[in-house]
């Protein structure tokens, strides 16, 4: 990708297309093309060798017209303000499409956590939290995990914020361990949501689980949970891949056995599993996986996986985007011409932020739900959201991605019009 590529410009261009299609009020459109707040912070920490290193961190709030803002915190060497702004805007649309009372936010620190000790990551997390504490809070902006952050990082964020205000504030972040106010069902929420919308989409196309085959790219949090739920519903998962390679079995992989294998494998990889043909070259494995003659393809690894180069080889009838941004706009066009139904990321992977919302509600009320209640509420909300998007697509005669964006932007636009401009 060229160094001139701007994820933020791409997000604005997507908004422009939706705005044109729905004839959006130009004043509201202009407001949506800007982030409400963007804070850049320096994060100096003492490294284990005694030296001081200064990291750069960001917290961006795109739009708070539907409620407090919500979005993950990413630790990665490639984090930029441009990327964080774009991801904050996408969070606004994701929260709106499933009807959560939130706007979008995102945060990040430019760092390589793989080369840092746990102590260094803790000190960096605490100093970053302290620096952004002027704009976060349970009624303002609620961070959550994203790439390379996890329940432990959320625990440190919650503790740092709580120490600053002088009392425990579990609702300041979500994705926490259950022992300190996390929610049951959060770990599986995104994969469960992916499976729920996938089942709804396949029913519309007349596919039956027992006769349908699935390929899943990525076997991390999202991909492995999605595969587990689909296998449980009778789908035959015939291919999966991870950063090391791919595993194929035309008769269907034994997903519970594969999950147990990955769990006890020190690298948490697919490699070494006996129940299928393993391809160790990850480029070759991905090329084969994406072109498999399956009914359903679920990209659940990274952005930019289905591109103009490989979209023509896709044979699946449905693509469900578990990852954020796995399909490029050029690939989208090719797939659309080929009649492939794409369930877009802002709908398909919204299960995670939905259970984050449930966690926040439980924290605010100090009233915790059991896992069954969480899952029932998640399933209901994902099915309703799929139906809402499907109805817009039928009414507007457009694909599901455009429909999801129209639905999201119109909900934010309504809030914006009702609230007006201050002062
Ligand atoms: P993860 O780190 O748990 O898993 C990522 C998986 O992808 C791993 O199995 C990894 O080996 C694999 N992978 C990495 N590079 C690959 C490659 N080149 N080819 C094939 N596989 C590759 O991450 P995750 O939490 O499962 O997130 C996956 C995607 O879903 C990301 O785009 C993330 O932003 C998105 N997402 C996650 C959540 C969530 O709740 N975890 C919510 C919404 C969206």
The residues carrying an active-site annotation are 106
- Compute the distance between CA of residue 329 and CA of residue 18 in angstroms, rounded to an integer: 13
Sorted by sequence, the CB contacts under 8 Å of residue 84 that are 6+ apart come out as: 38, 58, 59, 60, 74, 106, 107, 108
Percent of the chain with pLDDT over 70: 99
- 54 pLDDT higher than 50: yes
Residue 301 Cβ inside 6 Å of ligand 1? The answer reads yes
pTM of the model as a whole: 0.95
Position 265 scores a pLDDT of 87
Average of per-residue pLDDT across 362-385: 98
Which ligand 1 atom lies nearest to the CA of residue 282?
19
Residue 354 Cβ inside 6 Å of ligand 1? The answer reads no
Measure 398 CA to ligand 1 centroid, in angstroms.
28
Average of per-residue pLDDT across 14-29: 96
- Compute the distance between CA of residue 344 and CA of residue 327 in angstroms, rounded to an integer: 9
SS3 label, residue 73: strand
Residue 21 CB: number of other CB atoms within 10 A? 14
Average of per-residue pLDDT across 4-27: 92
Q: Who wins on pLDDT, 330 or 167?
A: 167
Model confidence over 235-270: pLDDT tens digits? 999 999 999 999 999 999 999 999 999 999 888 899
Residue 323 Cβ inside 6 Å of ligand 1? The answer reads yes
Average of per-residue pLDDT across 300-329: 94
Residue 220 Cβ inside 6 Å of ligand 1? The answer reads yes
Helix, strand, coil % in the chain, rounded to nearest 5? 50, 15, 35
- Compute the distance between CA of residue 153 and CA of residue 165 in angstroms, rounded to an integer: 19
Answer yes or no: are the C-beta atoms of 165 and 130 closer than 8 Å: no
Model confidence over 77-131: pLDDT tens digits? 999 999 999 999 999 999 999 999 999 999 999 999 999 999 999 999 999 999 9
Residue 286 Cβ inside 6 Å of ligand 1? The answer reads yes
- Compute the distance between CA of residue 258 and CA of residue 275 in angstroms, rounded to an integer: 8
- 3 pLDDT higher than 70: no
- Compute the distance between CA of residue 66 and CA of residue 409 in angstroms, rounded to an integer: 11
Closest CA to 383 of 373, 394, 391, 393: 391
- 2 pLDDT higher than 60: no
Question: What's the whole-number average pLDDT of the chain?
Answer: 96
Position 147 scores a pLDDT of 86
C-alpha distance from residue 355 to each of 70, 172, 179, 193, 218 (Å) = 12, 15, 16, 10, 21
Position 4 scores a pLDDT of 67
Closest CA to 388 of 354, 421, 411: 411
Model confidence over 268-295: pLDDT tens digits? 899 999 999 999 998 999 999 999 999 9
Q: Who wins on pLDDT, 413 or 303?
A: 413
- pLDDT grade, residue 304 (50/70/90)? confident
Ligand 1 atom 13: the closest Cα is on which residue?
243
- 362 pLDDT higher than 50: yes
Measure 310 CA to ligand 1 centroid, in angstroms.
20
Average of per-residue pLDDT across 215-228: 96
Which DSSP string corresponds to 49-74?
TS-EEEEEEEEEE---TTSSEEEEEE
- Rounded to the nearest angstrom, the gap between the alpha carbon of residue 202 and the centroid of all alpha carbons in its chain is 21
Residue 177 Cβ inside 6 Å of ligand 1? The answer reads no
Ligand 1 atom 2: the closest Cα is on which residue?
220
Residue 289 Cβ inside 6 Å of ligand 1? The answer reads no
Ligand 1 atom 24: the closest Cα is on which residue?
221
- Compute the distance between CA of residue 384 and CA of residue 388 in angstroms, rounded to an integer: 6
Residue 324 Cβ inside 6 Å of ligand 1? The answer reads yes
CATH topology of domain 35-172: Rossmann fold (3.40.50)
Position 99 scores a pLDDT of 98
Residue 352 Cβ inside 6 Å of ligand 1? The answer reads yes
Ligand 1 atom 32: the closest Cα is on which residue?
323
C-alpha distance from residue 285 to each of 103, 242, 321, 371 (Å) = 38, 9, 19, 36
Position 302 scores a pLDDT of 85
Measure 306 CA to ligand 1 centroid, in angstroms.
15
What would the two tokens of residue 273 be?
């599993």
Position 289 scores a pLDDT of 98
- Rounded to the nearest angstrom, the gap between the alpha carbon of residue 180 and the centroid of all alpha carbons in its chain is 23
Question: Domain limits of the chain?
Answer: 35-172, 189-343
Residue 243 Cβ inside 6 Å of ligand 1? The answer reads yes
Position 241 scores a pLDDT of 97
Residue 302 Cβ inside 6 Å of ligand 1? The answer reads yes
Measure 301 CA to ligand 1 centroid, in angstroms.
4
What would the two tokens of residue 375 be?
């899952």
Percent of the chain with pLDDT over 90: 93
- Compute the distance between CA of residue 190 and CA of residue 198 in angstroms, rounded to an integer: 12
Question: Residue 112: left (phi > 0), alpha (psi -120 to 50), or beta?
Answer: beta
Measure 165 CA to ligand 1 centroid, in angstroms.
34
Q: What is the 8-class DSSP label of residue 34?
A: S
- 385 pLDDT higher than 70: yes
Average of per-residue pLDDT across 159-166: 98
Q: What is the 8-class DSSP label of residue 251?
A: T
Which ligand 1 atom lies nearest to the CA of residue 302?
32
Measure 152 CA to ligand 1 centroid, in angstroms.
18
Which ligand 1 atom lies nearest to the CA of residue 301?
7
Answer yes or no: are the C-beta atoms of 190 and 197 closer than 8 Å: no
C-alpha distance from residue 121 to each of 55, 71, 130 (Å) = 11, 20, 14
- Compute the distance between CA of residue 283 and CA of residue 99 in angstroms, rounded to an integer: 38
What would the two tokens of residue 323 be?
């990852």
Ligand 1 atom 35: the closest Cα is on which residue?
323
Ligand 1 atom 18: the closest Cα is on which residue?
243
Ligand 1 atom 14: the closest Cα is on which residue?
243
Closest CA to 173 of 74, 73, 64, 98: 73
- Compute the distance between CA of residue 40 and CA of residue 237 in angstroms, rounded to an integer: 44
Ligand 1 atom 16: the closest Cα is on which residue?
243
CATH of domain 189-343: 3.40.50.720
Which ligand 1 atom lies nearest to the CA of residue 325?
32
Answer yes or no: are the C-beta atoms of 60 and 88 closer than 8 Å: yes
Answer yes or no: are the C-beta atoms of 85 and 108 closer than 8 Å: no
Measure 73 CA to ligand 1 centroid, in angstroms.
15
Measure 393 CA to ligand 1 centroid, in angstroms.
28
């Amino acid at each position: 990708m060229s160094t001139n590529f701007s994820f933020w410009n791409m997000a604005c261009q997507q908004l422009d297309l939706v705005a044109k299609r729905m004839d959006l009020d130009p004043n509201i459109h202009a407001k949506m093309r800007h982030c409400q707040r963007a804070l850049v912070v320096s994060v100096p920490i003492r490294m284990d060798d005694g030296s001081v290193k200064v990291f750069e961190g960001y917290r961006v709030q795109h739009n708070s017209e539907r409620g407090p803002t919500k979005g993950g915190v990413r630790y990665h060497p490639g984090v930029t303000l441009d990327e964080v702004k774009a991801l904050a805007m996408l969070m606004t649309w994701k929260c709106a499409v499933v009807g959560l009372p939130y706007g979008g936010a995102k945060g990040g620190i430019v760092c390589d956590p793989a080369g840092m000790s746990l102590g260094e990551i803790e000190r960096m997390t605490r100093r970053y939290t302290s620096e952004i504490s002027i704009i976060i809070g349970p009624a303002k902006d609620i961070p959550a995990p994203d790439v390379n952050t996890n329940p432990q990082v959320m625990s440190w964020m919650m503790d740092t914020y709580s120490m600053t205000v002088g009392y425990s504030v579990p609702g300041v972040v979500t994705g926490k361990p259950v022992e300190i106010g996390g929610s049951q069902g959060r770990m599986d929420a995104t994969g469960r949501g992916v499976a729920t919308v996938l089942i709804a989409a396949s029913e519309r196309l007349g596919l039956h689980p027992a006769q349908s085959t699935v390929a899943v790219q990525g076997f991390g949090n999202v991909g492995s949970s999605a595969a587990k739920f689909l296998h449980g519903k009778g789908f035959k998962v015939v291919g999966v891949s991870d950063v090391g390679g791919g595993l194929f079995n035309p008769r269907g992989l034994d997903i519970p056995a594969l999950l147990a294998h990955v769990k006890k494998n020190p690298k948490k990889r697919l490699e070494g599993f006996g129940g299928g043909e393993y391809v160790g070259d990850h480029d070759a494995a991905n090329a084969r996986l994406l072109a498999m003659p399956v009914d359903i393809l679920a990209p659940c690894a990274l952005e930019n996986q289905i591109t103009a180069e490989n979209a023509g080889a896709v044979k699946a009838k449905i693509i469900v985007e578990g990852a954020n941004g796995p399909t490029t706009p050029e690939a989208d066009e090719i797939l659309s011409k080929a009649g492939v139904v794409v369930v877009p990321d802002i709908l398909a992977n919204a299960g995670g932020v939905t259970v984050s919302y449930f966690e926040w509600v439980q924290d605010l009320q100090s009233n915790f739900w059991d896992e069954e209640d969480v899952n029932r509420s998640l399933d209901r909300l994902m099915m309703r959201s799929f139906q809402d998007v499907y109805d817009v697509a039928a009414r507007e005669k457009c694909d599901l991605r455009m429909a999801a964006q129209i639905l999201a932007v119109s909900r934010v636009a309504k809030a914006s019009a009702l609230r007006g401009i201050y002062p």
